[in-house]
Structures are given as C-alpha cells and as structure tokens.
Amino acid sequence: MSRRPGHPYLAGAPLFFAHRGGARLAPENTMAAFRSAVEDWGADVLELDVHTTRDGELVVIHDPTVDRTTDGSGAIREMEWAQVRELDAGYRFEDLEGRKSFRGRGVRIPRLEELLEALPGARLNVDAKGPESARPLMEMVLRHGAEHRVLLASEHEEGRADRMGYPGPVSASRRQIRWFYLLHRLPGGGPYTPSTDALQVPYIWEGRQVTTPRFIREAHRRNLPVHVWTIDDPKLMWTLLDWGADAIQTDRPDHLARVLHEAYGRPLPPAALGGAEGADSP
C-alpha cells in the first residue's frame, strides 16, 4: 500500500495541474502565469521548478540557465539574485498567435518565497531541479507552514523529501517510477510498491508508452494516484481521464478547463466563459 493513502492534498481528483503555470498561455514559471492559471483558468495545482542562486535564493525556473526564457545568459548557480531579478522573463515567450506579447512588460523570475506569500491558498507541486536545492526547499516550505499544500518532487534519490523527514506529500523519484514501471507487468501486478504519495509520469518517455490502463490500475491497487504530464491534446486528455488518471498536467489550461467542464460538469472558469468551444469530446 502507499506511504500515506488519501493525503488531503490529493483530494478532488481528477486534479487540474497548470504545468509551469500553463507555459503556452503565459511565460513559464512566472507570477503572470501562476496568477492566470488560478484566477483565469481555475487550476487546482501549480506545477513549478526551483534552482538555487549563488547567494542561496530559491528561484522559480526550470532550466539550469536563464538563456532559453530570458534576455540574459548564464547558469543560475553562478548568478546572484540581484542579477537574476533584473532579467526579462517574458522576453522569449511567444503566445498562440506567435507574438512576443510579454516582452518588456516587467515579467521577472520570481523567488519561491514570493509565490508562497502571493498565493497563500494555492496548491503547489515543486520540483527541486538539483539535489542541492532539496533541503533549502523543504525548510522554506516548513517555515511558511505550507506543507499541507505543497507537494515536493525530485527526480534524484538524494533529493527525496520523504528521506529528509518532510511531513507533506511527495511524489516518486525517477528510480521509483522506473522500478514500478518494470515490475507492474508481472503476474499479480508485481511485488513493488514505491514509498510515496503519487506517481507523476509522462504519457510517453523516450518513445515508449509509460501510462497505460494497466499502469493506472496497478497503481490504484496500491492506493497510489497517477498524475500524467505534459498533456496538451484534448483528445488525449479525454483518454487519460477515461483510464482513471487522477491528475493531468498541461501547458494549455484553456483546453483542460473545457475538457473537465464537458467530462464532469466542472464550472467553466472566467477566461473560458463567453464563446467556449467544445473540447473535442469523443
């Protein structure tokens, strides 16, 4: 059985995760994206990533460098926060019409602490991108008393928050997922149950389908919810929900909001009202 069946953080499935805040609709991992995901699209959970600057600030960014998403260059771990905070985090973003619609509008890379304080009611799914960020991340969440609403994720075994005594929810490491994937196809579902609160997995990884009806079924037999990333196609959203996926992470909150409305009668969020079109239901 799972480490902690039915953690309150996981209530309300299927959950709506805005991946990096909804990276196709606003600059990823920015307050602009996070606010829009919650206020405009009704996301249940904000998925995000953190790195640590040279002077120890936890900043919200996916890549180890600032090159892909800002007007700057360089590795986060080699930069001071004072340098990072000046970068234009909307500089390279292109909206759905191909416009640089956030360039020069004051969008910055936020500190994690800023996000925790600005959206005190939001559930967060935070991925420590390097093991050196894992303990400072956990300590910050605990200082803010936010462990009830923050799930900690790490691909690396050495960054696993459960091994550091984190009392809030955690997701499986890459190694745990690999073992479960390999063994769940054995007769009876195999002998392995990861010590975790959720399996967060891709639909396809390196050309191989990971998420299948059987994978979800065997996870559920162990009271483990399955969260699937990163799904932007409405038809695939429908398929995964039919299979019993407990959450979908998406860069297209507009699509997922409409699918959840059509599939479950979930109220349409403000941004989808007025001309909401069908979400390719089967």
Q: Is 12 left (phi over 0), alpha (psi -120 to 50) or beta?
A: left
Domain count, the chain: 1
What pLDDT was estimated at residue 274? Answer: 55
The dihedral over CA atoms of 213, 217, 218, 221, expressed in degrees to the nearest 10, equals: 180
Query: Is the CB of residue 229 less than 8 Å from the CB of residue 201?
Result: yes
Task: Tell whether 29 is covered by a domain.
Answer: yes
| Domain CATH code at residue 180 | 3.20.20.190
Task: Tell whether 5 is covered by a domain.
Answer: no
Helix and strand counts by DSSP (H, E) for the chain = 8, 10
Query: Is the CB of residue 150 less than 8 Å from the CB of residue 168?
Result: yes
Query: Is the CB of residue 56 less than 8 Å from the CB of residue 134?
Result: no
Task: Tell whether 103 is covered by a domain.
Answer: no
Task: Tell whether 181 is covered by a domain.
Answer: yes
Please give the Cα distance from 203 to 245 (Å, whole number). Answer: 11
pLDDT by 10s per residue, the chain, length 282: 444 556 899 999 999 999 999 999 999 999 999 999 999 999 999 999 999 999 999 999 999 999 999 999 999 999 999 999 999 999 999 999 999 999 999 999 999 999 999 999 999 999 999 889 999 999 999 999 999 999 999 888 888 998 899 999 999 999 999 999 999 989 888 889 999 999 999 999 999 999 999 999 999 999 999 999 999 999 999 999 999 999 999 999 999 999 999 999 999 999 988 543 434 444
pLDDT digits (tens, 9 = 90+) for 254-273: 999 999 999 999 999 999 88
pTM: 0.94
Domain range for 185: 13-63+116-270
What pLDDT was estimated at residue 130? Answer: 87
Task: Tell whether 96 is covered by a domain.
Answer: no
Task: Tell whether 41 is covered by a domain.
Answer: yes
Please give the Cα distance from 30 to 45 (Å, whole number). Answer: 15
Query: Is the CB of residue 110 less than 8 Å from the CB of residue 33?
Result: no
Task: Tell whether 69 is covered by a domain.
Answer: no
Task: Tell whether 104 is covered by a domain.
Answer: no
CB contact set of 119 (below 8 Å; sequence gap of 6+): 34, 35, 38, 46
Instruction: Kindly report the number of other CB atoms within 10 A of residue 261's CB atom.
Output: 18
Amino acid letter, residue 95? D
Please give the Cα distance from 49 to 29 (Å, whole number). Answer: 7
* DSSP structure class, residue 37: I
